[in-house]
């Protein structure tokens, strides 16, 4: 006696069961909602104290310093005036940059340096920075260059 249709499938037919997938998405949604709530509780706006004689140490010391070398006047074909600056900071004299490198090297002994230079600069202008880095005891020096793509 048969009580209903025969639900047997042909051999080799594949079926997709979406129930476990829905469960996983549901659990992930709950997880991210809870994490977002906890992280927003840590970001409460408040006015923090600024002690004058703090002994707190900076926890995020840069491991790498970027020194940019560029032309002061891009329209000058001879490139006589060169500006040097650390990262996005304002241009500074080389003596000031050298002092800052000395302080950074003291804080982070494994400090690395990256020199970025405008290609219109003379090599002598870039070599000055490379020599300054070596004099400060920074052993890892990288020089950024743009490589033209082959067509």
Q: What is the pLDDT of residues 11-63, one digit of tens each?
A: 666 777 878 888 999 999 998 888 877 666 556 666 667 777 777 665 555 68
Write the CB contacts of 68 (distance below 8 Å, at least 6 apart in sequence): 84, 85, 86, 87, 116, 117
pLDDT in tens, 104-118: 888 888 888 888 888
Find the helix or strand (DSSP H, E) in which 38 lies.
Answer: helix 19-42
Q: Do the Cβ atoms of 108 and 61 come closer than 8 Å?
A: yes
CATH of domain 64-144: 3.30.420.270
The pTM score is: 0.54
What pLDDT score was predicted for residue 60? Answer: 57
Q: In what order do the strands lie in the sheet with 82-86?
A: 82-86, 64-71, 112-117, 140-144
62 vs 111: CA distance, rounded Å: 8
Map out the domains of the chain as residue ranges: 64-144
The position carrying tokens 């927003």 is: 40
Residue 99 reports pLDDT greater than 70: yes
User: What confidence category does residue 1 fall into, taking pLDDT thresholds of 50, 70 and 90?
Assistant: low
What's the mean pLDDT in 81-101? 88
């Amino acid at each position: 006696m048969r009580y209903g249709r025969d639900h047997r499938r042909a051999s080799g037919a594949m079926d997709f069961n979406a129930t476990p997938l829905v469960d996983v998405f549901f659990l992930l949604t709950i997880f991210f909602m809870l994490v977002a709530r906890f992280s927003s509780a840590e970001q409460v706006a408040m006015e923090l104290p600024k002690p004058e004689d703090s002994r707190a140490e900076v926890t995020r010391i840069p491991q790498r310093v970027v020194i940019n070398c560029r032309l002061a006047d891009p329209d000058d074909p001879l490139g006589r005036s060169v500006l040097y600056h650390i990262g996005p900071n304002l241009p500074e004299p080389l003596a000031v940059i050298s002092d800052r490198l000395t302080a950074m090297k003291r804080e982070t002994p494994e400090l690395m340096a990256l020199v970025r230079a405008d290609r219109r600069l003379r090599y002598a202008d870039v070599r000055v920075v490379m020599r300054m880095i070596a004099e400060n005891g920074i052993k890892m020096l990288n020089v950024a260059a743009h490589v033209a793509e082959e067509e």
